[in-house]
Each structure stands twice: as structure tokens, then as C-alpha cells.
Structure 1
Amino acid sequence: MSNSKKDFTLIKLGNKFNFFQELDIYKFYNELSKSCNGNENNNFCNTVSFSVVDDPVVITLLKKLFRNLNYLLKYQDFFVDKITKAEEKHCIHLKYWLYDQIVINNFDEFEINIIFDFLEKHIHNGMLDKSSKTPCNFHRLNVGDIDDIKNMYSYSELFYETETKNYEKILNDYKYLNYFKNGFDLYRKSKIKCSTKENSGYCEEFKEYKNIYEKYGKQSTFLPCQEWLLSALYNKDETLSTKPSQKGLKSIVTLDPDLQKLLERDKPVEQKNLQNFYKLLTGNYEKYTTNSCDSLNEYDVKEKSIVCNLLGFVQKSLEIWRDTYENYDQSSSNKPCDYFNYWLYDKLRHIDATPCDIELLYQLWYKSAIQKTIEKKKTCYNKEYNGFSKEELGNKKRIFEFLEYYNVIRDKLNEVEHKEKNEYCKYVMSIFELYKKMEQNNISNSYREELNLFRHKFFGNELHFLEEKCSDMCLSFVFNEKLKTLCPFKEKNPTELEKKNLKQCENFESRNATGHIGGNDKYDYNFSNLPTYSVYNELNSNITPDTYYSICSKLIPHNENHCGIYNLCNKVVRNLTKLSVMKNHERFDRCAYITHWIYDEITKIPNIISMNIYEKIALREFFNVVYEILRKVGIFDCFLNAFNINFEEQKEKKYLHDYFNNFNSFTCNISSNNNECEKYCEYISFINNLYGKYINRSCYCFKSDGCKDIYPYYFKCDDNYNPYKLFEKLKCNQIEKFSKGLEKVIKPHFVDAHVIWLTEKYGKKAEKPLLKLEKIESSSTPENVCNKITCDPFYIGAIGGFGLMGLFLIFFIFYKFTPLGSYFDNKDARNIKIHSQKGEEEFLENYLEFNRTNMKNRRLRLAYHQA
């Protein structure tokens, strides 16, 4: 056990923090630690036999433990005027003392097991007063369990037995702060771990402790506020302080500064309700605050003046609610009350008060609202207050205001020519990032209401609208539970050196350098009126200015010699991000488009293709980044081949893919638009050659069941897509250039053709005697009738083969599962076994002879078996 654990024994805690010496457990602990040499109950310590235990330190501890257990049975006689708290906690204190002694004595697992073995055997067997029941239940724990349980006990005693002002003293020592925070964390985790039917010693101990913990919690109105403060310490949040201060009493509540800046610049006429309501409340706050609050006299309030001012304003607001606030600016009935609550959230952010004082404010607010309801008057109820930190209060208000003004933001995003559209998108992204952060930190459900409002707003089509208007912002990941941040690709901002290297490739003159494919390819047909054009145009659209994906930064050093590779990576991030939220058929189709688009765009990067593509470090790095992107966005059904890439072949596959996706969109009228029809027909003629080249490798055809697509992402085997049929549909033979027609590509040979031929051939021969069966005389014997089995040599050979296999199987069974096989195997094995046994006997004799030496000073250990 680590020596650092001894720093947290109760005596050490008492020496470090004086207020611990005033705790009930500390006084109880000192009584339990008294030596057995005292006059009180000395006979018990001296007469009890511990002969089964040979460790004197363990014996001393056990004597004290059983003496203390007897104390608890008659605690009125031993603890008069020393212990004042409830009897239910005495057992917790006793076990805390026991665990503390185990830590102090540095006991290991062996010694701990001795203690629990002794307890299990003797606690119900005469060691205690038989007239009384056992005061405590002891559960078997290991070293780690004891450390954790003891840590929780220390936390609970701090929580229940000391005032919040003492928390400030703990804050000054990081080591002890972490210790109590860990106790709080252990309590929360143990509630989850032991909520099932698990009956381990740890969980049994925890459940008994938890019952007492919750019982005491119900007896005090203000205990939750202490736990909130500890929770804030645990989360390292800036919380409402325990120190008195008047800071912020006259602060002016406004909208979120980022939102305020956008609204002031564009000055929208509509949706000013919230902003004006805040101004109204701020003005009335100056009128209705008071320093006289008799209702607080019966409560222990640390910052009475602060609470008094706020309570006075709240109570006055409820009195004038119907006339002043209820129908403010024709708002819905609930809106003004929501505005009032979030205005107060912001006020609390600027007022340093204890969580217990704020809890009192909310309780008195609730009582006032209840009274108004009884009087059948309109009123406003407070929202739940769970000891929110300043950061939590600000986050809740910010999300609410965004949702309240979302329609204004939406209208601005719809203005295509709006100059500040990008500023609105940045604001939306910041709110989505805040949502992800709140979702990750919502352990105590502090943000439950705001998160539900946000989900209700953006689940569905509204999120798709924002993705379209604010591309490259990773907004689609907002509900992805696997990602802890909104955009996993924007982990850092670009360095100054990276910014310098991200220069445009305006003067780069190697666009047609060696290795560039397709720059002047005459087969790069580009029909802007066909479906594939719009998809590729979307995939290749420019990235939003100033967008920086840190995951692509590895390609910046290669951008100078391979101009465009970094920009392509950014586009891949955006396109795969959109793919990650697509489903079913849409997802499959878009994956095929992205795959062909990436290979095609690579060929346009200068100096990227060489005779050996593996020599290009930039290309290898690019594919590594692509696979990292796929992993981060959780795409496992769309991959690119990064090995043995034939870019010419990939380009041909793209042509075929595009042809099949455009097939139903080819229409033209020769009489009115002969040029367009000629281009189409030329394209069909080109595709027909590729179709004939790939059909045999891409289709698996059966005579009985049609053709199956082997590579559906670029080739369709359905004969309806045959270029010849499209050639005829467009009447290309009426154009002089194609008057000779087009050679039709036929389907591949059926893979089951030979089987069908054999079946038809032998089937007809077998059917003939059956058809003439009626002509055979009734006196004919069965031997004279030729049937399919006896006349077909294939079946005769098959029967013979299966018969031979059956014989082998029978011999194998006899060999493996009858004494016959064992007899042949055991002859040699018996000789080996005899030799092995002799070797073992000789080894044991030598071992025993060796270990009999030097035993004079060692304890004799005997191994035995019970009869």
C-alpha cells in the first residue's frame, strides 16, 4: 500500500484541518483507538483467546475491534457526553476506524483476509454479548475496496458535518482537494455500479452506507446546495462563490455578445421581444430592489443583502405580472416567464453568492408563486436550480437565445446575396460546438432542458437546411455520439508557416507536366444537362474561404510541387462528412461518385503520376489522410483502393459509371438539334467500346436467372442498358456519320450453359422409355426397363464413390471409438509410460532429499487433506 494513503488518515486530516477535530467522527474515533490496557473492559481484552492468529499486530487490532463492538452494544454507558449524533452512524464510524487502522498498519491482502476470516467465524460465536444482536455487518473487502470506501466516508463526513465556508480551506491544498473530489466521484460511480443486483462485498457495504447518506439528506433542506458546491469543485468550474461580494448587483443583462453584434449590424425588425424584455426587467430591477426582508430572518443566510435584493425584485415582479409582463408584446403565455428566468440566470452570473443562498431564493420564489396560484392570479414559476456554476448559467442562456432568434438567422441565411452570410454561419457553428460541449458535460443533467429544446429544433430537415447553407462547418456531426467535438478535423489553427505555404498555384506552369492525365483527353465528355454533372459539380465546389482542416496539414509541404493536393484533401473532408449522414441507396450512390471523383481529380494534380506511383510520397500521404478521415467520421462501407492503381482504367470505370447513371436522361431531336444528337451518338459509340471491354469481367450470367452485377458501382449488366438500345432510341443511324450503325455487344456466355446442355442431352434419352412405357407389356420384368440411375454412367460412378467413402468412414469409427484402435496405439505408449513414471519417482526422491537440508531455523509447513 502506498505511503501517500497514510496522508489521509483521520488523524492526519485533523492535523491538517482544525475543523475536522470538531466532527463527531473524530471524537468517536479517538474513543475507539484507546489501548486495551485501560481499566474499562480490560477483562475482555485479556481473556479473549486469539490462538488461531499468529500475528501480534493483527491480534491487537482484533482485540480492539471486538471491544469496540461491545461498546456499540451499550454505547450509552461508554460514550456519554462524547458522542451526540444519531446511533445509525456509529457503525459507519466503527468501520471507518477499522479501515483507517488497516491503512496505518500497512496490512496486505493476506492480513486483511485473516481479519475478515476471524470476523466471519467468531462474530456470531460467543465473542459478543449474547443478549444483544450484532451491531454491524462486515463485508469482505480487498485493499482497493477499503481505500475507496474510506475515501467516500471522508467525503460524506466533510459534506454533512462541516459548513461550506470550510471548503475554501480545502481549496488551498490541491492534494486534499483532489482526495475529497475523488470521494465524491466514487460515490457517483458506485451508485451506478451497485444499482444492479450485484452482491459483491463492496456493493453490500456501499448500499448500507448509501441508505444512511440519503436518510440524512432528506432531513435537511439545504444539504443539496453543499453537494452542488463539491460538484463544482470536482468539475473545476467557476462556481458561485462562498465569499461575500456585491459585485454585479447593478449589471445590465444583455443578449449573447456574438448574437447582439449580428443583430445590431443588420437591425432586423421582427423578433425583438427578448431583447426588449431584458431592457424592461433591467429598468424595473432598479425600482423594486429592497434591503428589508423579514422573511429571511428565520433562515441561516450568508449573504442576506444580495438575496434580499433579488427576492424583493422577484416578489414585486410576481405582483405586477399580469399587468406588466404576461402579454408583453403579444408573446405566448409561457414566453415572458422563460425570458424572466433566463434574465435572472444572467444576473446570478454576476453576483457572488453561495449555492445555499441561491437555493433559498428559489425556494421562496416557488412559495410566492404557489400563493399566487391559490389566489387564482397569473404568475411565473421558477425553473429548476441545481447549483449551476457561472459557466453553466451562461451556456444555458446562450443556447436559449440562439433558439429564440433562430428564425431571424434562418432568414438571413436564405438571402443568397447577403454579404455577412459567412458571419452568421460562424455564429451557428459556435452554438453547435457549444451544444457538443454541453452534451459532454451534462453528467448531472444541468443542461437537460436546453439540450432537449435544441434536439427538438434540429432533428430532421432543419439540420439539412443548415448543412446546405453553411457547408464546411461539420454541422452534420452535431448529433454524432461517437465524436466528442463538433468537427474532428479542426483541432488546431494553421501556423504562420502553413499559411505562407498555402499560396495559390497561379504561376505554376506544370499543369500539363509528365504524369498528368486527362488534361486534353478528347473523351472527356461533359454534358451539363445530365445528372452526373451536377453531382460532380457539387463535389468539386470551392471550399469556404479561411476553412482549415488540420487533418490535411500533412499535405501542405507537398502543395508546392503538387499544386492542388491540399485543396483536394479539404474537399474530400467536406464530401465524406456529408456522406457520413447519408443512408441506404443514397449513401451507396454517393460513395460511388466520390470514389470516381477522387481518382479523376488526382490525375489533374501536376507531377503526381509516374511510372511507379509508390515513388510518390505525396500520393501515399494523401491516401493515408483519406483513410484517417473515413475512420474519424465512422464510414466503414466506402473505401478507395490505394494499391496497384491503374488510373487509365479508373477513368474508364468512371465513364461507364456516368453512362449508366445518365442513361435515362439522354434525349434529343435530330430534326431540331442535330449537333447535340451527334455529340450524344459519338459518346454512345465511345461507351460501346468500353461496354464490350468490361462486360465479360463485370457480369455473371445464368440462362435461368439472368445476369448478376459483380461491380455494381460502375457496371450494370441489365441488357436494357446496352448502348445499342440507346443508339437506336436516339436514331443515331439517321446521322450520316453513324449511318453504318453500331455493332451490338452481346451478353457473356452463360456460366451454366454446359450443365444445361448435359441435362438436356441426357434428360431426353432418359425420357424416351418413360414415354413408351405404355407399350411395354405387363409381363416385362424390372431388369428390362432402363432408368436414369442404372443407365447413366455418371450416377453409377457416383454411387460407387460414395460407397467407398462409406467403407473408409466405418473403418475410421472402429479405429477411433472401439478397443481395436486402442490396442494398436497402447503397445508403445505403455513402454513410454513405465519409463516416464520411473523418471518422475527418481526426480521426486532427489527433490525431497535436497529440500530436507537447512530446515533447523524454518517453520515446518504441512500439507493436508480433510478426511
Structure 2
Amino acid sequence: MSYPCLDYYKDEAHVASKVFNILKDFPLYDFYNKLHNEVTNVTTTDKRCALCTVNLTRTKQEQIDLLNLCQNFCHILLNFDHIKTVYQKISSDKRCTFTSYWLYDQVTKIPNFSSLSSKFYDPFPLISKHSHSKIKDCSLENYRIDKNKFTHKKILYEFLHIYDSIQDKLNSQEDVSKIQLYCMHIKENFRYYNIIKESCKSKGTCDYYDEYKQFKEKFKEPKVINLICEKCDYIKTSCEKGSNGEDDVPCLREKGYSFLYLIFGNDADNIINIILKVTTISVPILVFSVILFKFTPLGKSLNKLKQERKKSGRKKKEENIQDYMKNYAAYLDSEMKNRVHLGYHAT
């Protein structure tokens, strides 16, 4: 397991590995990764961690997994020199929260964890008070929520925490290609927020309400949005899910190509999915398709791409389509409205 986990990416999934590479050295994720490596590589049993065996036995696989995690994590806490440099990089007010998020994330990866989580966490108040422990004032939190809800909570929290560092990167003389990756990460997190906010209406019914409210309050601010749009060359756009009120966090997209985005959305591969795969379409759309394929350079390129995909089994990635879009979208945006208008009249 490596951090950050970007499985929630959609529009920018094709660059997730590149975003991972520029985020993994941020203090939060560096801490996660080093702590994870230390805990998973423990090879000895510490007698002082016998407390883990009080409530957890080796009768079922999930109990075995939780017991191993408890003993390994306990060993690291009590043999702190192994991770001293890891913790020193994190401010004292963040250590407990970072550790709690990482630990619960590990717990949620074990099947049927919810029924055993209390037994898993019971020993840690005593272990934390041990003279060798460096988190004496930390109460490791058992969030007591299911995996999906915790994932929502964790993604919002992590982005809130790292955003100021990302903003510093946007304001720096960082390589343009890296700036674009930071921008894509912002865009994906705004999209994700607008999906999960629909299930978060009140503190009493939403397990990630605090993170949701903090996210909303921070990123609905015009000053913050304007900076992102300026540095990333983005504009606000409608969301796939969720409302787009003025007093909320918007979805984002690149500037330009407004007519194409109106038709195909933010995913350029929809051109292939819609035009090449749909077999029953209305007459106006059919006219539009004929115009697109017969009278524009993009049509020729898409036809060529279609043939290549048949031969290669779709080896080309979304970047191919994005390249065509960027090369011809400016032309199409200025001409397409007139041509579609003529197409309607021709029918």
C-alpha cells in the first residue's frame, strides 16, 4: 500500500500515477508511507504488547489480521527510535490525527473489521501511556464508521491539509507540467466533493460532516476560487452530480472549447463513445455527426483513430483524443454552431 491513494480519480485518471509521484513526498503522505513501511516490516514480538491478545484471538482470519496489526503498531510505538525521524517532521498538533487516520485506514482493509474495531482499539490507551511511547497525549480515534464513509472523510481531510502546500506550488516557479498536475488534483477533489456532498445534510446523519463543512467553507471563497482559476487556466462549470450554487464549491474545467464541452462534457473520450457507438440517434444529431466527420479535420482524425483502435485493440489512451481535441477545438468552437444550425435547416 502506497499513499496517496487516488482510486477516486475519474476525469484525470490517466494522470493519476504522475500526480501520485508529486504528492508522495508531501509531509502527510511521506509520514503515511514511512509509518506503513515500519509497521508492516516488524519481524519481532514485543512482550509489552501482550495487551493486544486480551481481546483478540487467532480463531478467525480477521482477528489474526487485527492482532498482527495491533502488535506491530504497538512495537513501533514502544521502540520509537525506528520512526523518530518520521515523527519529527510532523508538528506535535498533527501527529495524533495523522496517526489515527493511517491506523483506521489499515483497520478498514480487514474484512468484518467493524464488529471487532472496539476490541482492537481497547489496548491503545494503556500502550500510549507507556514511558517509551511518544504519543502519551494522543487518544487514537476509533472512527466507528464503515469503509466508504471513512474514505470520504479521509479524502476531504487530506486535501484540506495539503492544499496550502499545493497553493504554494501554484504561486512558485515550479515546472509547468507539475503545475498542471497539481491543478488536476484540485479539479478531481472538487468533483469528488460535489458527488459526496449530496449524502451529507447534517451532523447527526453524516459521519464526515465536519470535514465536509471545512471543505465547503474554505473552497467556496471567491479569493480561493479565483486564484485556482487564474493559475490553472480553469473556469467554473456544471457538475455531473450535485447543485452548483453560488455559495458552494464549484466543479472546474479548462477554459475554451465551450461548445464541445456543452455536448460531450468534461470527458473527451465521450466523442468516441457517443458518436461511434450509439446506433440510434435523432436526425439533428445525425446531421451534426455528418458535419463533424465530413467537414472538419477532427472528423478525419477521429476516423483514423477508429481504424487504429480496431487494429490495436484500443491501445491508444485518452491522451490521443485530448491531443486531437486541443488541436482542433478552437476551430470547432467558432464554426460548429453555424454548421449545426445549417444542419437543422437542411433537415
Q: Same fold (TM over 0.5)?
A: yes
1:288–1:312 Cα contact (<8 Å) kept = no
Aligned equivalents of 1:272 and 1:376: distance in 2?
22
Tell me the alpha carbon deviations over residues 723-754 of structure 1, each in whole angstroms, 9 at most, x when there is no partner: xxxxxxxxxxxxxxxxxxxxxxxxxxxxxxxx
2:50 is the alignment partner of 1:295: no
1:505–1:563 Cα contact (<8 Å) kept = no
- For 1:566-585, what aligned pairs fall within 5 Å after superposition? 566=337
SS in 1 for 2:4: coil
Change (3 A) 1:320 1:485: same
- For 1:183-262, what aligned pairs fall within 5 Å after superposition? 252-257=1-6, 261-262=18-19
SS in 2 for 1:452: helix
Aligned equivalents of 2:194 and 2:340: distance in 1?
42
The aligned counterpart of 1:433 is: 191
What is the CA-CA distance between 1:473 and the residue it aligns to?
5.1
Of the three residues 265, 275, 285, the one matched with 1:496 is: 275
Tell me the alpha carbon deviations over residues 823-863 of structure 1, each in whole angstroms, 9 at most, x when there is no partner: xxxxxxxxxxxxxxxxxxxxxxxxxxxxxxxxxxxxxxxxx
Change (3 A) 1:296 1:388: same
Of the three residues 195, 216, 226, the one matched with 1:464 is: 226
SS in 2 for 1:351: coil
Aligned equivalents of 2:340 and 2:190: distance in 1?
40
Of the three residues 389, 398, 405, the one matched with 2:155 is: 398
Letter in 2 for 1:330: K
2:74–2:127 Cα contact (<8 Å) kept = yes
1:403–1:454 Cα contact (<8 Å) kept = yes
The aligned counterpart of 1:272 is: 26
What is the CA-CA distance between 1:475 and the residue it aligns to?
8.2
2:220–2:248 Cα contact (<8 Å) kept = no
Aligned equivalents of 1:500 and 1:408: distance in 2?
48
Change (3 A) 1:606 1:254: closer
Aligned equivalents of 2:179 and 2:224: distance in 1?
17
Of the three residues 301, 319, 336, the one matched with 2:95 is: 336
What is the CA-CA distance between 1:546 and the residue it aligns to?
4.7
Aligned equivalents of 1:319 and 1:395: distance in 2?
31
Letter in 2 for 1:432: F
2:108–2:146 Cα contact (<8 Å) kept = no
2:96–2:135 Cα contact (<8 Å) kept = no
1:474–1:486 Cα contact (<8 Å) kept = yes
Aligned equivalents of 1:417 and 1:481: distance in 2?
33
Aligned equivalents of 2:293 and 2:178: distance in 1?
25
2:245 is the alignment partner of 1:480: yes
1:289–1:310 Cα contact (<8 Å) kept = no
The aligned counterpart of 2:258 is: none
What is the CA-CA distance between 1:431 and the residue it aligns to?
0.9
- For 1:106-185, what aligned pairs fall within 5 Å after superposition? none
What is the CA-CA distance between 1:311 and the residue it aligns to?
1.8
What is the CA-CA distance between 1:445 and the residue it aligns to?
1.9
The aligned counterpart of 1:306 is: 65
Aligned equivalents of 1:501 and 1:472: distance in 2?
28
Letter in 1 for 2:335: G
The aligned counterpart of 1:701 is: none
Tell me the alpha carbon deviations over residues 138-169 of structure 1, each in whole angstroms, 9 at most, x when there is no partner: xxxxxxxxxxxxxxxxxxxxxxxxxxxxxxxx
Letter in 1 for 2:28: L
Change (3 A) 1:364 1:416: closer
What is the CA-CA distance between 1:482 and the residue it aligns to?
9.7
2:233 is the alignment partner of 1:448: no
The aligned counterpart of 2:300 is: none
Change (3 A) 1:407 1:616: same
The aligned counterpart of 1:589 is: none
What is the CA-CA distance between 1:616 and the residue it aligns to?
9.8
What is the CA-CA distance between 1:453 and the residue it aligns to?
3.7
Tell me the alpha carbon deviations over residues 228-260 of structure 1, each in whole angstroms, 9 at most, x when there is no partner: xxxxxxxxxxxxxxxxxxxxxxxx342124665
Letter in 1 for 2:237: C
SS in 2 for 1:287: coil
- For 1:19-168, what aligned pairs fall within 5 Å after superposition? none
Aligned equivalents of 1:403 and 1:484: distance in 2?
13
Aligned equivalents of 2:197 and 2:340: distance in 1?
46
SS in 2 for 1:386: coil
What is the CA-CA distance between 1:432 and the residue it aligns to?
0.9
Aligned equivalents of 1:546 and 1:426: distance in 2?
17
- For 1:669-748, what aligned pairs fall within 5 Å after superposition? none
- For 1:527-538, what aligned pairs fall within 5 Å after superposition? none
What is the CA-CA distance between 1:301 and the residue it aligns to?
8.2
SS in 2 for 1:334: helix
What is the CA-CA distance between 1:440 and the residue it aligns to?
1.7
Change (3 A) 1:503 1:432: farther
1:432–1:486 Cα contact (<8 Å) kept = yes
Letter in 1 for 2:227: F
Number of residues of Structure 1 aligned to a counterpart in Structure 2: 269
Aligned equivalents of 2:16 and 2:134: distance in 1?
38
Change (3 A) 1:278 1:462: same
What is the CA-CA distance between 1:427 and the residue it aligns to?
2.6
What is the CA-CA distance between 1:416 and the residue it aligns to?
9.1
Aligned equivalents of 2:65 and 2:87: distance in 1?
28
Tell me the alpha carbon deviations over residues 602-634 of structure 1, each in whole angstroms, 9 at most, x when there is no partner: xxx5897xxxxxx9957xxxxxxxxxxxxxxxx
1:289–1:309 Cα contact (<8 Å) kept = no
SS in 2 for 1:457: helix
What is the CA-CA distance between 1:388 and the residue it aligns to?
1.7
SS in 1 for 2:176: coil
1:467–1:475 Cα contact (<8 Å) kept = no
Aligned equivalents of 2:144 and 2:193: distance in 1?
19
What is the CA-CA distance between 1:435 and the residue it aligns to?
1.0
Moved more, 443-452 or 487-496: 487-496
Higher-Rg member (1/2): 1
Letter in 1 for 2:218: K
1:322–1:378 Cα contact (<8 Å) kept = no
The aligned counterpart of 2:167 is: 410
Change (3 A) 1:481 1:366: farther
Of the three residues 561, 564, 570, the one matched with 2:335 is: 564
Aligned equivalents of 1:500 and 1:402: distance in 2?
44
Percent identity between matched residues is 21
What is the CA-CA distance between 1:417 and the residue it aligns to?
7.3
Task: Compute the TM-score of the two structures, normalised by the length of structure 2.
Answer: 0.57
Higher relative contact order (CA 8 A, sep 6+): 2
The aligned counterpart of 2:10 is: none
What is the CA-CA distance between 1:355 and the residue it aligns to?
1.0
Aligned equivalents of 1:416 and 1:323: distance in 2?
34
The aligned counterpart of 1:621 is: none
Aligned equivalents of 1:404 and 1:442: distance in 2?
20
Change (3 A) 1:295 1:466: same
The aligned counterpart of 1:197 is: none
SS in 1 for 2:177: coil
Aligned equivalents of 2:220 and 2:159: distance in 1?
16
Letter in 1 for 2:4: L
Letter in 2 for 1:319: L
The aligned counterpart of 1:351 is: 110
SS in 2 for 1:405: helix
Tell me the alpha carbon deviations over residues 503-550 of structure 1, each in whole angstroms, 9 at most, x when there is no partner: 79879xxxxxxxxxxxxxxxxxxxxxxxxxxxxxxxxxxxx9959xxx
